Each structure stands twice: as C-alpha cells, then as structure tokens.
Chain A
Amino acid sequence: MKIADFDLYKDLLYERSGLDITPDKSYLLDSRLTPIAKKWGYHSLEAMSVSLRALPDPELVKEIVDAMTTNETSFYRDIRPFENFENVVLPYIIENAQRGKTLRIWCAACSTGQEPYSLAMILKEKQAELGGRRIEIVATDISDRVLNTARQGIYSQFEVQRGLPVTKLVRFFKQVEDKWQINDEIKAMVNYRNFNLLESMASLGKFDVVLCRNVLIYFDTKTKAKVLEGISNQMEQDGFLFLGGAETVLGVTDTFSSIKDVRGLYAKTGQHGTVAKTTMVGTGAGAGF
C-alpha cells in the first residue's frame, strides 16, 4: 500500500473509531479492505482511496471501520471478572439496592454478544436474591455486523465450548441444527444498539456497572482518557467498572482507581476504598506546577 493511502486510512480510522493503526499493520488494511473495494465496484484499493478522498460515502466509511475492528470474544472471557461480578459487585448491589431503581449495566464494546449474555445468565440465576429488581443490560458496539450476530444469539459448537459451563449451555440454550441459540428470556434482558465510544455518551443514561473490556487496547492514551472520562460521567457515584486483562487506568486518568485485591475491577477514585495513584510524570494531578 502506498504511504499516502496508508495515511488516508489511518486518519479515517483514528477519527471515526479511535483505532490507532501502526505501519506494521499495513498488510491488514490490504487484506481486509481489498474485498470491500471489490464489493463497491472499484477495480483496486487505490481507486477506492481516490474516491474516498474526493467524496467519502458514509456507508462505505462505516464498512471500512467495521472491517478493521477486532471482534475476538468468548463467553465468560477470562472467568475471573465474571466471578468478581457475581461475588463482589452483585452482593454490594443487592445490599445497597434502592427501592424501585432499575439495575443498569453497560457492555461498552459487546462484539457478538457473549459478554452481555454471560452477565444475563448470572443475573437470571441470581434472580431470587435480586428480589424482582428490574434489570437492564445495554450492549453497544460500533460494528453493525457483530450486533446482528449478537441479536440473533446463535453460536457455533466451538464458540459455546470456549468458556461457557455446560450446565449453562443446557439451561439457557436450545439446539438449532449444529448451532446453539440463546433462549428468548435471556435475549430479552439485553438491549443492543450501535454506539461509537468516541461520541457523546449522555443519551445512554447512568449505569451501576460498566464493562469496557478489550477495546481500549486499540486506542492511544489520549483517546483512552477521553473514553474513560466519558464513562465516568455515565456512572453512578458508587458504580463499578471492569476493564480487560491488558488494560489499566494507571497513567491514563485519575478519575478511576483499581479496587484493592480485585484485579480488573475499578471504581471512581475514593469509592469502594480506592486511593488515587499517579505514576506517570506529566499526566493527571501534579503535572505542570
């Protein structure tokens, strides 16, 4: 790919999705965008680039962004966060429930739905302890392609064996030929919508729990900070935030801090016993005196 074209796509992706693509990933642009160029009737990737420079078709741009997302996920991915959800977060929520208030959870980059459905199954099993409390799981992603799969809730034999305990498979899925479909009751607990994390989050309302896992890794520090601060505004004061195993708030923002002894679980600084840690010179408090 020509350098000028690389820059075109790099800028476009950064601007539209926050994806920070480096030159060593240039081959990915080639392999994923060439089929799109074909589909849109361009004889080459270069031809598509020319047209994008002149007048970018919003649908085409959307498809390009979609094609460059990484959608890797699984049921109960990494296990531990879901144990923490069940054993740390839920007991707090049950104990501190305000009468009549809906418990609101946001999966901020839900991919093909395994993450929100994993939560929904836990909540279903804890229904009695939640005492009839209304629950809303909002699951969002920038890619319509993955959202369609999520809404259908149909998974391959391979996908249902990566992390999903067999007791839950039997209880919450039905077999459709050689695939497995999540049942309607669980599906109805999750509300999917297309949402770009770079946009204003105000319309989403306030959440008690937010999962923003394995998406910040694709962003640069500035974008990470912006997204985390946006999430903070959408979180109840005593809310909980889950990040992915390779993600942290350290050196990115002081808004959140990690909860002691619970890896991957964060709260607004000062809540749930958290204390701010500023480790990097030049970020957050203490910089530029």
Chain B
Amino acid sequence: MKSCLVVDDSRVVRKVARRIMEDLGFSCDEAEDGQVAYEKCQVSMPDSILLDWNMPVMSGIEFLEKLRMLDNGDSPRVVFCTTENDIQHIQRALEAGANEYIMKPFDSDIIETKFRQIGLL
C-alpha cells in the first residue's frame, strides 16, 4: 500500500483529502504545517505528499525546498493543493520540485487524475 502525508492547516480539508486518498487506496498520515511535516519525513519518508501552500510556522513551499535537500528527500511525489491559483505560484512550485499542482477547490476526480498522472495510481 502506498502512503500519503496530507499537509494542511485546516482540519476539515485534511479530513476530506484523507478520505479521498484512503478511498484511492493510500495509507495516510496528517500534518498541520510544514514544520510538523518536515519532522515526520525525517522519521519516515512517505511515497507522496499532498501539500497546502499557506500554513503557519512553515509554509508548503518552504517545506518542499527543505524536503528536497534531505537524503532521500527527492523520493516522495509532491502534489500541491492550494488556493494559490496563479501561474507564478505554479512555476515557483515546479522549480522547487513539485510533481503536480491542484488549485482549490478540488474534488476526488481531480485528485485521482493528478495521482494517476504522476504514476501513483
């Protein structure tokens, strides 16, 4: 079973996203900001990360930049999932090493096609 770390400061979004990912057959863990996610990744690298941008303590983009510097930090496939929906943000995410990008609002169809595209489904 593939694993996914759901990173979002909203508990509601985490719950919805987790439900969708579990329906798609992933085992899920959650983190409420980039710092918590970073600590979890240091303990155990997930196969994939669904990542919000704006969060307190450490933002998604900052987390991603730090993640990619870790040993083995290039292995998880990272999918942004954020309300930031302009091309500059998307470009910045790709430069930092994101594999896909979802603009909120999302639904299960969008998540499924994105994870299919990055080869995890």
Contacting pair A170 B87 (CB below 8 A): yes
Assess the B103–A79 pair: CB atoms within 8 A.
no
Instruction: Select which of A157, A163, A170 is within 8 A of B113 by beta carbon.
Output: A163
The DSSP consensus for interface residues of chain B is helix
- Chain B residues contacting A79 (CB-CB under 8 Å) are 116-117
Q: How many residues does chain B have at the interface if contact means C-beta atoms less than 8 Å apart?
A: 18
Contact A175 B86 (CB under 8 A): yes
Q: Is A169 an interface residue (CB 8 A)?
A: yes
Contact B109 A170 (CB under 8 A): no
Contact between B86 and A161, CB atoms less than 8 A apart: no
Q: Are A170 and B94 in contact (CB under 8 A)?
A: yes
Question: Which of B86, B90, B113, B117 counts the most chain A CB atoms within 10 A?
Answer: B113
User: Are the CB atoms of B109 and A162 closer together than 8 Å?
Assistant: yes
Indicate whether B100 reaches chain A with its CB closer than 8 angstroms. Answer: yes
Q: Does B13 contact A (CB under 8 A)?
A: no
Number of residues in A with C-beta < 8 Å to the partner? 14
Q: Tell me the bound Cα distance from A86 to B87 in angstroms.
A: 27
| Residue B38 is within 8 A (CB to CB) of chain A in the complex | no
Those of A155-185 within 8 Å (CB) of chain B: 157-158, 161-163, 165-167, 169-170, 174-175, 178
Q: A170–B88 Cα gap in the complex (Å)?
A: 9
* Bound CA–CA A157/B84 (angstroms): 12
Q: Which residue of A lies closest to B111 (CB)?
A: A161
A175 touches B100 (CB 8 A): no
Docked Cα-Cα span, A92 to B91, in Å, equals: 34
Q: Which of the residues B87, B94, B110, B116 comes within 8 Å of A161, measured between beta carbons?
A: B110
**Roughly how many angstroms separate A287 CA and B113 CA in the complex, as a whole number?**
44
Cβ of A165 and Cβ of B117 under 8 Å apart? Answer: yes
Contact A166 B110 (CB under 8 A): no
B53 CB within 8 Å of chain A: no
Distance in angstroms from B67 CB to nearest chain A CB is: 18
Contact A162 B110 (CB under 8 A): yes
- List residues of B (87-120) whose CB comes within 8 Å of A's CBs: 87, 90-91, 94, 98, 100-103, 106, 109-110, 113-114, 116-117
- Are A166 and B113 also in contact (CB < 8 A) when A157-B85, A175-B86 are? no
User: Closest residue to B116 on the A side, CB-wise?
Assistant: A79
Q: How many angstroms between the C-alpha atoms of A174 and B100 in the bound complex?
A: 18
Say yes or no: B87 contacts A166, CB within 8 Å.
no
Please pick, from B91, B94, B98, B103, the residue contacting A157 in the complex, using a CB distance under 8 A: B103
* Docked complex Cα distance between A166 and B117 (Å): 10
* A187 shortest CB reach to chain B, Å: 18
Look across to chain A and name the residue whose beta carbon is closest to the beta carbon of B103. A157
CB-nearest residue of chain A relative to B107? Answer: A158
How far is the CB of B121 from the nearest CB of chain A, in Å?
10
CB distance from B100 to the nearest CB of A (A): 5
Which chain B residues border A161 with CB–CB below 8 Å? 102-103, 106, 110, 113-114
Q: Is the CB of B101 within 8 A of A166?
A: yes
A165 to B86 CA separation, bound complex (whole angstroms): 15
Query: How far apart are B60's CB and chain A's nearest CB, in angstroms?
Result: 15
Q: Is the CB of B85 within 8 A of A166?
A: no
Evaluate whether A166 and B109 lie within 8 angstroms (CB atoms) in the complex, with A79-B116, A157-B85, A175-B86 already known. Answer: no
Q: Which single residue of chain A is at the shortest CB-CB distance from B85?
A: A157
Q: Which residues of B contact A (CB under 8 A)?
A: 85-87, 90-91, 94, 98, 100-103, 106, 109-110, 113-114, 116-117
13 contacts between A and B (CB under 8 A): A79-B116, A161-B103, A162-B109, A163-B113, A163-B117, A165-B117, A166-B94, A166-B98, A166-B101, A167-B94, A169-B90, A170-B91, A174-B87
Question: Which A residues form the contact surface with B (CB < 8 A)?
Answer: 79, 157-158, 161-163, 165-167, 169-170, 174-175, 178
